[in-house]
Amino acid sequence: MKKYSIILLLFLFQINFFAQVGFVEYDNSVYRFLKRMNSLQLITNYNEFHLPKTRSDVAEKLIEVSVNSKSLNETDKLLLKEYLKEFQFDVNRELNQSKQFLPDFDFNYIFSEKEKYLYSYNDTNNVNFFVNFIGSFETIANNDRILNSTSNTSLVNYGGQIRGSFKDWFGFSIKATNGTFFGDKNLALTKSNLKYNYKFNLPESSAGSNYFDETEAYATADFDFINLKIGRDRNIIGYNSVNSIISDYAPQSDYIGLSLNYKSFSFDYLHGKLFGNYSQTWDSTEGSRNIVDDKYFAYHRIGLNLSKHFNFGIGEIVVYSDRNLDFSYLNPFNFYKSVEHANQDRDNSMLFFDFKNNSIDNLTLYASVLLDDIDFGKIGTAWFGNQAIIDLGIYSNNFYKYIPITLELQYLRIDPYVYTHRIFNNNFTSLNASLGPDLQPNSDMIHFSAEYIPHYKLFLKTGFRFIRHGANELNNDGSVKVNHGGDVLVGYRTFDNPDARLLEGILELSRNIYFIAEYEIVNNYLARFRIDYTSESKQNSSVKNLLSSFSIIFKI
C-alpha cells in the first residue's frame, strides 16, 4: 500500500514536470536530513555517495518522507515542513510560502519565516529564475598554547546568486562573491577556501591582496533519467564524514558531467581540469609571468541499489597531464585502467569499490576500498606498489525513538604512496592540495561524532578525530632524506626503498576535539559557532591550538 501511496503523491505533485532544473549545493543541510531519513528507511534508492543532487531528486525524496511522516519525531516533522517550504517551487511550482523584496520593496520580508528571494519570476511558458543576495560575517580567534599567544581575524563575504530554468529541461546558476578581512591574515589563510585563493595569496604589496573572490556556475540539461552538466562547483564523492575519494579540501575545478539514474541503477561521470606544477618567469618587457601546468582528472562510477541489504558501486579515477584533453578519458564508458595501458602507461589510474548496507533499521554500514595500484603476486608483502585505501563507517540512529541523536564512527586507512605518482603532475592534487581528505598518505584515522537536534532550528554536533601519520624523514633544509610514502607531493623514486609499511617513518600524532552549534535565527539567517582543540606532535614541531569561530550566514 505504501508503494501506491508514493506513486499517487508523486502524481499529484507532478514532480517530473514542475521541479526547477538545477542542483542543490553540497553543503545544504537537507543532505544531513535525507541521510538520516535513509538510515530510518523512510526513503528508497537514495544515492548519497555523490553530491550535489538535482533539485528534482531532493524534492522527490522530501515527498517520499512526507508519505511516511507519521514515523518522524516532532523535531523532524518540523524540519520536513521547513524543507518543503524551501523546495516548494520544486515540489508543486507554487510560491505562497515565499516572499520577495522587489519590485514592491516589501521590507517586512527581511524577518519573515517564509523563503526569501530578492526577486523571483515564473510564467506559464515554464520559464523561471530566482535572485538572491548572499553574505556572511565570520570572526576567528586562535590561542596558541605552546607560544602562549593569541590572534584574531574577521572575514566579510558578500555577493549574489541567480538560478533559473527554461522549458523544464535547461537550468543554470551563477554565484559570485567578494570578500575582505580585518586582523591576522595568516589566521585567515587557515581556511581552505582562502588557502588556495590566488588574489588573497599575493604579496602584501600587490594590489588586491587583501581581497578574495570566488565564483560558482553551471549549465545543465535534464532529460528525465539523463543529466548533462558543465560547471564550476563542488563535487563531494565518498561515504562518511571524511570523504576518501573527493572532498571539499582542494580548490574548485571546472568540469563536464553526465549522470544516468533509472530505478536501482546509477552512473556518474566527471571530467575536470586541475592545476599542476607552478613556476614563474621574468621578462624585462612583460614582467612576471605565471606558468601553471594543466592536468586533468576523469571519474566514473556504476551503482546498483538492489535493496536495503545490498547497495554496491564500482568506479575509477584517472589523473593525466603533459598533453591536451585525451579523448580516451572524455569517453565516459571506457575502462580507464586498460586505456591507461593502451596510452603507454603515462597516467595515474585508481579503481574503487563501495558498499552500503541498511538491513537493520536505523543503522547503516559503509565500506569503500580504493586500489591505487596492486600486484596480486606481492599481496601480503611490504612492496610499495600495493597502495590501497580502506574506509569503514557506521551511522546509527538507534536511539531515534527516545532522543534525536545520531552517532557516527569512521575508520580510514591510507597506505604509503596512495595519491602520489612518480610523475609529479600525475599526483592526486590540484595546486598541491589533495583532492581527497586533508590527510597525507601513510596514515590512518579514527573519527567519532554525535549529532543532536533538540529543536528544529538548533543543530549540535561534537566529535573527536585521532590521526597517526608515518612522515618522511627530512633534511635540515626540508628536502626528503628517507621516503616512507608519507607525502602526497613525493612519489616513489628509483632509489627509494621498495618496502613501505603503514606508519613506518617518523610517527606523527594528531588529536582534534570539536563542537559545532548552528541556530537559524530567522529563515535564511544562520548563526554558527565552532570550537576546535587540536594537539599535534610532529617531527620538527608541536602544536596545541584552541580555535574558535562565530559566523552569521544570510540569504535574502
C-alpha distances in Å from residue 39, one per residue of 34, 50, 80: 9, 17, 16
For residue 445, the tally of other CB atoms under 10 A from its CB is 21
Rounded CA separation 338/330 (Å): 15
State the pLDDT confidence band at 17, using cuts at 50, 70 and 90. very low
Helix H or strand E encompassing 225:
none
- For residues 152-162, one letter each, b for 16 or more C-beta atoms within 10 angstroms of the residue's C-beta and e for the rest, the string is ebbbebebebb
State the pLDDT confidence band at 103, using cuts at 50, 70 and 90. confident
For residue 290, the tally of other CB atoms under 10 A from its CB is 9
Rounded CA separation 316/286 (Å): 42
DSSP labels for 339-372?
HHHHTTS-SEEEEEEEEEE--STTEEEEEEEEEE
pLDDT for the residue numbered 272: 96
C-alpha distances in Å from residue 289, one per residue of 200, 207, 281: 18, 16, 5
The residue behind cell 570572526 is: 139
Residue range 218-251, pLDDT digits in tens: 999 999 899 999 999 999 999 988 999 999 888 8
CA-wise closest residue to 456 among 104, 56, 29, 141: 29
- Taking CA 156 as the corner, what is the angle to CA 155 and CA 160, rounded to the nearest 5 degrees? 140
Rounded CA separation 120/108 (Å): 16
Residue range 448-472, pLDDT digits in tens: 999 999 999 999 999 999 999 999 9
The mean per-residue pLDDT over the stretch 548-554 comes to 96
pLDDT for the residue numbered 381: 85
Contacts of 68 (CB under 8 A, 6+ apart): 2, 42
Rounded CA separation 86/429 (Å): 36
Rounded CA separation 512/532 (Å): 7
pTM for this entry = 0.92
Q: Are 64 and 82 spatial neighbours (Cβ–Cβ below 8 Å)?
A: no
C-alpha distances in Å from residue 467, one per residue of 428, 464, 515: 20, 10, 18
The mean per-residue pLDDT over the stretch 77-99 comes to 93
Helix axes 55-67, 2-13, angle to 10 degrees: 130
Using CB atoms within 10 Å of the CB of residue 530, give its burial: 0 to 12 exposed, 13 to 18 middle, 19+ buried.
middle
Q: Are 47 and 267 spatial neighbours (Cβ–Cβ below 8 Å)?
A: no
Q: What is the pLDDT of the chain when averaged over all its residues?
A: 91
Contacts of 506 (CB under 8 A, 6+ apart): 470, 471, 472, 473, 484, 538, 539
Backbone angles phi, psi at 167, to 5 degrees: 55, 25
Residue range 159-198, pLDDT digits in tens: 999 999 998 899 999 999 999 999 999 999 989 889 888 8
Give the three cell numbers for residue 17. 514536470
Q: Are 235 and 254 spatial neighbours (Cβ–Cβ below 8 Å)?
A: no
State the pLDDT confidence band at 20, using cuts at 50, 70 and 90. confident
Select the more confidently predicted residue: 117 or 106.
117
Which of the residue ranges 18-22, 49-53, 321-325, 508-512 would you say has the lowest mean pLDDT? 18-22
**Residue 344 carries which side chain, given as an amino acid letter?**
Q
State the pairing for strand pair 265-283/387-396.
unpaired
Backbone angles phi, psi at 186, to 5 degrees: -60, -35
Using CB atoms within 10 Å of the CB of residue 237, give its burial: 0 to 12 exposed, 13 to 18 middle, 19+ buried.
buried
**Residue 33 carries which side chain, given as an amino acid letter?**
F
The mean per-residue pLDDT over the stretch 26-37 comes to 96
Q: Are 88 and 66 spatial neighbours (Cβ–Cβ below 8 Å)?
A: no
Q: Is the pLDDT of residue 329 over 60?
A: yes
Q: Are 372 and 204 spatial neighbours (Cβ–Cβ below 8 Å)?
A: no
User: What is the CA 20 to chain-centroid distance, rounded?
Assistant: 23
State the pLDDT confidence band at 7, using cuts at 50, 70 and 90. very low
Find the length of the chain: 556
- Return the SS3 of 213: strand
**On the CB side of 507, how many CA atoms lie within 13 Å of its CA?**
7
Residue range 250-290, pLDDT digits in tens: 888 999 999 999 989 999 999 999 999 988 888 877 788 88
Helix H or strand E encompassing 79:
helix 74-86
Q: Are 61 and 83 spatial neighbours (Cβ–Cβ below 8 Å)?
A: no
**Residue 190 carries which side chain, given as an amino acid letter?**
T
For residue 14, the tally of other CB atoms under 10 A from its CB is 12
CA-wise closest residue to 37 among 361, 310, 261: 361
Rounded CA separation 236/51 (Å): 5
pLDDT for the residue numbered 101: 86
State the pLDDT confidence band at 385, using cuts at 50, 70 and 90. confident
State the pLDDT confidence band at 14, using cuts at 50, 70 and 90. very low
Using CB atoms within 10 Å of the CB of residue 104, give its burial: 0 to 12 exposed, 13 to 18 middle, 19+ buried.
exposed
pLDDT for the residue numbered 250: 85
Rounded CA separation 271/325 (Å): 10
Positive/negative CA dihedral, 338, 343, 345, 350: negative
pLDDT for the residue numbered 19: 67
Preceding amide of 437 cis, omega within 30: no
CA-wise closest residue to 549 among 160, 29, 136: 136
Q: Is the pLDDT of residue 9 over 70?
A: no
Positive/negative CA dihedral, 376, 380, 383, 387: positive
